[in-house]
Amino acid sequence: MLISANRSETEGWRIDRLEKAFDAFCRVYGISEEQAKLLIERIHDHKGNLSVHWVSGPTPEQCRAWGIAWEIVGEPHDCIEHNPAD
């Protein structure tokens, strides 16, 4: 799974925030990071807007869990775009 963010040289915290959000997603959804990596192809942060690219899905519960996780790291839950697999 790829974690990326549009950021300047002074915004290394964006990657840290994505890692914390990913950890929070796993805890909220009740799965291990290894299991989550099988579900998610990549996550990307662009100025507080999170894009989650799924291998397959997402389910409503997965979307809810990401909403909670994104709020845990200080962003609104409605700033998430879920991209299902092609």
Q: How many domains does the chain have?
A: 1
Radius of gyration, alpha carbons of the chain: 12
List the pLDDT tens digit at each of the 86 positions of the chain.
788 787 666 667 888 899 999 999 999 999 999 999 999 999 999 888 999 999 988 999 999 999 999 999 999 999 999 998 66
Q: What pLDDT is recorded for position 9? A: 65
The tokens 């200080």 sit on which residue? 74
Helix (H, G, I), strand (E, B), or coil: what is residue 31?
Answer: coil
Element (H, E) at 60: helix 60-72
pLDDT tens per residue across span 50-70: 999 999 889 999 999 999 999
Q: What pLDDT is recorded for position 23? A: 97
Q: What is the pTM (predicted TM-score) of this model?
A: 0.89
Which domain does 62 fall in, by range?
2-83
CB-based burial label for 76 (10 Å; 0-12, 13-18, 19+): exposed
